Amino acid sequence: LSCEREIYNRNYIKTLKLLEGRELHGRFSVTQSKKFSFQQQYQISQASAPT
């Protein structure tokens, strides 16, 4: 019984870590796209600015 519980706990922790990682990855990709759009806007403003 204790061995089975150990396996269950391990799988539970693994699942939690996977979900955590996915959430972090989601946040990361959102941050990346925001950063990218900011860089694009900056480049466009630099290009349109009179030299």
Q: Which amino acid is at 51?
A: T
Helix (H) or strand (E) holding 23, with range, is: helix 2-48
Tell me the percentage of the chain whose pLDDT exceeds 90: 0
Better-predicted residue by pLDDT, 41 or 26: 41
pLDDT at 36: 67
Domain region containing 35: 1-51
In Å, what is the CA distance from 3 to each residue of 7, 9, 13, 14?
A: 6, 10, 15, 17
Copy the structure tokens of residue 30: 């959102």
Q: What is the mean pLDDT of the chain?
A: 74
Between CA 25 and CA 33 the distance in angstroms is 12
Structural domain count, the chain? 1
